C-alpha cells in the first residue's frame, strides 16, 4: 500500500512537471510579441498555469477521461503572433478581440460536442490520416525544441546549453530504455531534475520574476472586456474546426497507447469537445491562450508508462494550486527552457513510433503510399516556405495555408475521402 502511494505521488509529480514544461514558454512569447511588462508577463504565466490545470483536470474527470494533458494550442499562438506583429493595430484592442474570438471558438466546440458532430468527424481520421498528422507534428515542433535546446539567439548557439540539454535528452532516453522497474517510469522527472541541477551548477539559470505576496487569485478579463468583431468572429469559427480535428487525432493517439476500445473513444469524443469548448471559454475569461489536448501526451505516457488516471488528475490539481502561490510560480519559472525542451523532445520519440504504427497498420499499397507521400511533401514543404509569402492573405488564411501541419493533414483527409481503395480503412 505504501509503495502504491509512493508511485502515485511520483507519477503525479511527473505529470505536473510535464504540464509545467508544456506551458512555460507560451506566456514569454506572448509577452514579447505584445511588449508586456515583466509583471504583466508573470501574471499571464500564472493565468496560463491556472487554466491549463483546470482544463486538463476537467477533461480527465468529465471529458475524454484519458491521461492527456491540455496545453496552449499552437493554432491560437500562431494567431496571437501574427496579429501581434501587425503594424498600426492597437495591442490592447487586439487582445480584447482575441478574447472574443476564443469565446466564439469555445461556444462552437461546445455545440459540436452536444450535437454529436465531433463523434461523426472521427470517421475522417483513419489510421493513415492520424499517422500523417503525428509525423507532421513531429517535423514541425522538433525544430522548435532543438532551437531551445541549443539556446539559439542573436549571437548564435550557446554551446554550454546545447551540451547540457543534449545530456538531459540522452539521459532520459537511456533510463527509459535500459532502466529497471520503477526507475524506468520516472525517466522524465529524473532527467529534468539532473538537468536543472546542472544548469544551476553552470550558472545558466534564467532570472525568475519577482513575486508579490503569498497568495494571489488570477485576474478576470485582465486584457479588458472581450470584443466581438466580424473578422475575429470568423477567425473563432475556423479555429474551432481546427481544434476539433486536433482533438480527434490526439484522442485517437491516446486511445492507441492506453488500449481503450474504439466505441469508448467515440463516446468520449463528444464529451472532450464539450469540455474543450469550456476550456477555451475559460482562456478568454482569464485572458490567456486557448487550450487543446496535447498530442505529445501520448508519447509521454508511452515513455513513462503512466497510464492511470489518478496520478494525472492529482498532477492537474497541483498545477492549479501552484498557480495561486506567487513565490512557487517564481521558483518554477526558473526551470531552464533547454531542459524543458529536451524532455519534450524525448516524448516526441514515442510519437514517431505511434505514427509509424498507424501508417503500417494496413499494407502500403500504391494508393496509401501516394496519399502518404503527397501529404508529407506538401506539409513539410510549406514549413520551409517563408511566412512573408502569405503576407497578403487575411490573418486566418496566413496561418492556415502557411501551416504545414494543418495543410498536410487536411490534404490527407481530402484524398482519403475522394480516392477510395478496394478495401477502406476502418477509423
Q: How confident is the model at residue 35 (pLDDT cuts 50, 70, 90)?
A: confident
Choice between 263 and 18, residue whose per-residue pLDDT is larger: 18
pLDDT tens digits for range 269-322: 889 999 999 999 999 999 999 999 998 888 889 888 888 999 999 999 999 999
CA distances from 122 to 217, 251, 286, 327, 334 (A): 38, 10, 31, 44, 40
DSSP labels for 313-370? Answer: HHHHHHHHHHHT-HHHHHHHTTS-HHHHHHHHHHHHHHHHHHHHHHHTTS---HHHHH
Q: 310, 15 in Cβ contact below 8 A?
A: no
Q: How confident is the model at residue 65 (pLDDT cuts 50, 70, 90)?
A: very high
pLDDT tens digits for range 205-255: 877 666 667 888 899 999 999 988 777 787 788 788 878 888 988 888 888
Q: What is the pTM of this model?
A: 0.80
Separation of first and last alpha carbons in the chain: 40
pLDDT tens digits for range 129-186: 988 988 998 888 888 788 888 887 657 788 888 999 999 999 989 988 887 766 777 7
Share of the chain above pLDDT 90, in %: 33
| Strand stretches in 309-420, DSSP E | none
Amino acid at each position: 500500500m505504501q509503495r502504491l502511494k509512493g508511485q502515485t505521488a511520483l507519477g503525479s509529480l511527473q505529470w505536473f512537471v510535464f504540464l509545467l514544461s508544456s506551458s512555460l514558454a507560451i506566456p514569454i512569447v506572448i509577452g514579447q510579441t505584445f511588449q508586456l511588462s515583466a509583471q504583466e508577463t508573470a501574471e499571464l504565466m500564472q493565468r496560463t498555469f491556472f487554466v491549463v490545470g483546470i482544463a486538463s483536470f476537467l477533461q480527465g474527470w468529465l471529458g475524454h477521461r484519458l491521461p492527456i494533458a491540455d496545453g496552449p494550442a499552437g493554432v491560437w499562438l500562431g494567431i496571437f503572433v501574427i496579429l501581434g506583429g501587425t503594424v498600426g493595430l492597437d495591442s490592447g484592442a487586439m487582445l480584447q478581440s482575441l478574447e472574443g474570438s476564443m469565446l466564439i471558438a469555445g461556444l462552437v466546440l461546445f455545440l459540436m460536442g452536444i450535437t454529436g458532430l465531433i463523434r461523426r468527424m472521427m470517421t475522417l481520421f483513419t489510421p493513415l490520416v492520424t499517422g500523417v498528422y503525428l509525423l507532421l507534428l513531429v517535423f514541425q515542433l522538433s525544430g522548435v525544441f532543438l532551437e531551445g535546446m541549443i539556446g539559439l539567439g542573436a549571437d548564435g548557439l550557446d554551446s554550454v546549453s546545447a551540451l547540457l540539454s543534449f545530456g538531459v535528452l540522452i539521459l532520459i532516453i537511456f533510463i527509459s530504455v535500459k532502466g529497471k522497474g520503477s526507475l524506468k517510469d520516472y525517466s522524465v522527472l529524473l532527467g529534468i531534475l539532473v538537468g536543472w541541477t546542472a544548469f544551476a551548477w553552470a550558472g545558466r539559470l534564467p532570472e525568475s520574476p519577482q513575486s508579490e505576496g503569498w497568495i494571489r487569485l488570477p485576474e478576470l478579463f485582465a486584457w479588458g472586456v472581450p470584443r466581438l468583431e466580424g473578422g475575429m468572429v470568423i477567425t473563432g469559427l475556423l479555429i474551432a474546426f481546427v481544434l476539433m480535428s486536433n482533438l480527434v487525432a490526439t484522442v485517437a493517439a491516446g486511445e492507441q497507447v492506453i488500449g481503450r476500445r474504439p466505441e469508448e473513444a467515440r463516446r468520449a469524443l463528444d464529451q472532450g469537445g464539450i469540455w474543450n469548448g469550456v476550456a477555451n471559454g475559460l482562456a478568454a475569461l482569464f485572458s490567456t491562450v486557448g487550450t487543446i489536448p496535447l498530442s505529445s501526451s501520448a508519447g509521454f505516457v508511452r515513455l513513462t508508462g503512466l497510464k492511470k488516471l489518478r496520478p494525472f488528475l492529482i498532477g492537474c490539481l497541483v498545477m492549479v494550486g501552484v498557480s495561486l502561490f506567487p513565490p512557487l510560480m517564481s521558483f518554477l519559472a526558473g526551470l531552464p527552457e533547454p531542459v524543458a525542451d529536451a524532455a519534450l523532445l524525448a516524448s516526441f520519440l514515442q510519437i514517431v513510433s505511434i505514427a509509424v504504427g498507424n501508417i503500417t497498420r494496413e499494407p502500403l499499397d500504391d494508393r496509401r503510399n501516394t496519399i502518404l507521400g503527397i501529404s508529407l511533401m506538401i506539409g513539410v514543404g510549406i514549413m520551409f516556405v517563408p511566412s512573408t509569402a502569405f503576407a497578403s492573405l487575411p490573418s486566418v488564411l496566413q496561418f492556415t495555408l502557411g501551416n504545414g501541419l494543418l495543410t498536410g493533414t487536411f490534404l490527407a483527409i481530402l484524398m482519403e475521402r475522394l480516392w477510395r481503395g478496394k478495401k477502406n480503412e476502418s477509423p
